[in-house]
Chain A
Amino acid sequence: MRKSLFLATVLAALLAGCASGVKLSDVPVEDKSSASAAGIGQGSGAGSGVASVVTDKAGNGIGPVGVSHVVYFDYDSFVIKAEARPVIESHARFLQSNKQRKAMLEGHTDERGGREYNLALGQKRAEAVQRALVLLGVPESQVEAVSYGKEKPAAQGSDEAAFAKNRRVEFKY
């Protein structure tokens, strides 16, 4: 009885969509690539450079082989730890040898706290890595710092082990 009622409610809701003016998801956003969004974007910077931005943001590029693409952070911290330095230096060398390649630095936080504030914290982490790369001679135009906040944890769980794996910046090529 409950199941058929549920189905009937769903059916009614679907039918209601025709009348009440909320377009159903037959215009879904398909996450094929960044192409569509970069095309729509108004203020992405160099107007005629959209094509190259799309190519570089395709996300399937490979960075330095055999080098970790993740840097971890302590709680409430944006300080690059000593053990991260060799990783950052490897990526800096790669970017300087491959001047047409661009890297996206994705900042992340653990799950504690608000989504927007964590977005800003993740941004701080990504920018710390960006600064380190720039200090090593990488042009700022080759790296973009963005944040996912707490939206894309690498590890599930609400313990310190999971938190530690989620406080990170990832290199995406």
Chain B
Amino acid sequence: MLRYAIACLIFLAQPVLAQFRVEVTGVGMTQMPIVVAPFRGEATSVQKPAAIVQADLERSGVFKALDAGATALDELSRPDWSAWRQRNADALVGGSLTRLADGRYDLRARLWDVVKGSDKGEWRETVPSGELRQASHRLADWVYLQLTGQPGAFATRIAYVTKASGRYNLWVADSDGEGAQSALSSTEPIISPSWSPNGAQLAYVSFESRKPVVYVHEIATGRRRAVANFRGSNSAPAWSPDGKSLVATLSRDGGSQLFRIDLASGEARRLSTSAGIDTEPAFSADGTALYFVSDRGGSPQIYRMPAQGGPAERVTFGGSYNISPAPSPDGRWLAYVSRIGGQFKLHVMDLQSGQNMPISDTGADERPSFAPNSRLIVYATVAQGREALMTSTVDGRIKARLAGQGGDIREPAWSPARP
């Protein structure tokens, strides 16, 4: 009887969070306990801002969300400090969602410092219903900034590819994997999506003409063109920081070598000159160098050379297979995949010291990509037998499996910050 009563309590206390299928695992050393109360007026909305904000804050690894209960708390409330302190909350968010006469929504929130018992500020936006998710992510970014002093990366996007029933789709979704919209649908594979620096375009490799060809695709209009369709294979596009050229892997000279393609003229200029494989170019944070993968030393390792081409220096030395370099935007880290004992594991290297460590528990990791605030990494892997996208904090401590479209899911790319 008692067990039944407890089960009932747990069910009732289940946060609205569950519907977003966020699975967060791990414990950070110092996570700030926060309560995001249900917002007044959100119960009847499909998109529940409080739940979106809570999931974002948890996925960041910085916060531990305490159960908020079912009672809504709006931005005009006077919180019961002793009650929240008893629950060991450090911060509290409340708010309201109001539908206006013209069909738009008024989203308001307030952040309180529970320890001091003080008001840390109010946030509000009025948006069309179709933008409610994005507004909730902007609210989460604001809470994150107020409490950590760092910019959040929740109001950003992730591109990824799914394969289901013989169909490939390139999706553009919110940073939590939700709200995905198909930018491209094809019966042939799509790989290596890459965001332009202004976030308006995606470059990718499509096999629709029965060979790999690099396209540049304007997301808002669907207009696209092939920018590398040379003899042989064309792949691995990486945008230059000024958005005017792509570095890509072309086999038009034989082998797989790096070329810089001027997007205006279409001309390709060779950058790398090894006899083997040079691929997976990635610009350094300051744009002056290119990381890339080369097997010139006998096995695939990560190297770095000047962005205009030139002598390369080796960056990875552990093991015999290091690929998929992804430098963090703040210049501190390099994420990559290393094969250790037959397992492909996500690693992070401190670029100053060269120290590196594995940060995942899975063995089929691919394609890491940093969030624009350099605090989270998204990557593809296989978890419980299924392809999945995961985010991880840079130290590997907090991980979350992203919601996403059905079918095999792979090739994530995190957008730049929204301008």
Chain A residues near B (Cβ < 8 Å): 2, 5, 8-9, 12-13, 15-25, 27-31, 34, 36-38, 40-45, 57, 59, 104, 106, 112-117, 119-121, 123-124, 127, 144-149, 151-152, 172
How far, in Å, is A13 (CB) from chain B's closest CB?
A: 5
The answer to whether B321 touches A22, judged by C-beta atoms less than 8 angstroms apart, is: no
Residue of A whose beta carbon sits closest to that of B236: A116
A30–B206 Cα gap in the complex (Å)? Answer: 12
A147–B233 Cα gap in the complex (Å)? Answer: 6
The answer to whether A123 touches B255, judged by C-beta atoms less than 8 angstroms apart, is: yes
Contact residues in B for A43 (Cβ distance below 8 Å): 228-230, 266, 268
Contact residues in A for B220 (Cβ distance below 8 Å): 21-23
A165–B311 Cα gap in the complex (Å)? Answer: 39
How far, in Å, is A153 (CB) from chain B's closest CB?
A: 11
Is residue B293 within 8 Å, beta carbon to beta carbon, of the partner chain? yes
Contact residues in B for A24 (Cβ distance below 8 Å): 181-182
A8–B178 Cα gap in the complex (Å)? Answer: 13
How far, in Å, is B112 (CB) from chain A's closest CB?
A: 30
The answer to whether B179 touches A119, judged by C-beta atoms less than 8 angstroms apart, is: no
The answer to whether B184 touches A29, judged by C-beta atoms less than 8 angstroms apart, is: yes
A13–B172 Cα gap in the complex (Å)? Answer: 11
Chain B residues near A (Cβ < 8 Å): 19, 46-47, 128-131, 133-134, 169, 172, 178-189, 191-192, 206-213, 219-222, 225-233, 235-236, 249, 251, 254-256, 266, 268, 277, 279-280, 293, 300, 321, 323-324, 337, 339, 344, 366-367, 410-411
How far, in Å, is A18 (CB) from chain B's closest CB?
A: 7
The answer to whether B321 touches A113, judged by C-beta atoms less than 8 angstroms apart, is: yes
Contacts A12-B47, A25-B185, A117-B293 supplied; 5 other A-B pairs, CB < 8 Å: A5-B19, A8-B46, A23-B221, A45-B231, A59-B210
Instruction: Identify B209's interface contact among A8, A37, A117, A120, CB under 8 A.
Output: A37
A151–B208 Cα gap in the complex (Å)? Answer: 12
Most A CB within 10 A of own CB, among B131, B185, B225: B185
How far, in Å, is B23 (CB) from chain A's closest CB?
A: 16
How far, in Å, is A158 (CB) from chain B's closest CB?
A: 9
How far, in Å, is A102 (CB) from chain B's closest CB?
A: 12
A146–B109 Cα gap in the complex (Å)? Answer: 55
User: With A25-B184, A123-B233 in contact, do A116 and B280 touch (Cβ < 8 Å)?
Assistant: yes
Instruction: Identify B232's interface contact among A31, A117, A123, A149, CB under 8 A.
Output: A123
User: With A43-B230, A43-B266 in contact, do A38 and B209 touch (Cβ < 8 Å)?
Assistant: yes
Residue of B whose beta carbon sits closest to that of A122: B233
User: With A20-B131, A42-B266 in contact, do A13 and B321 touch (Cβ < 8 Å)?
Assistant: no
Instruction: Identify A42's interface contact among B169, B191, B222, B229, CB under 8 A.
Output: B229
Residue of B whose beta carbon sits closest to that of A13: B179
A27–B121 Cα gap in the complex (Å)? Answer: 44
Residue of B whose beta carbon sits closest to that of A33: B209
The answer to whether B183 touches A25, judged by C-beta atoms less than 8 angstroms apart, is: yes
How far, in Å, is B174 (CB) from chain A's closest CB?
A: 10
Residue of B whose beta carbon sits closest to that of A21: B220
Complex A-B: 12 CB contacts under 8 Å: A21-B220, A29-B184, A29-B185, A29-B186, A29-B208, A40-B229, A42-B266, A115-B191, A116-B192, A119-B212, A124-B255, A127-B254
User: With A114-B366, A123-B233 in contact, do A34 and B210 touch (Cβ < 8 Å)?
Assistant: yes
User: With A19-B130, A121-B277, A148-B189 in contact, do A113 and B222 touch (Cβ < 8 Å)?
Assistant: no
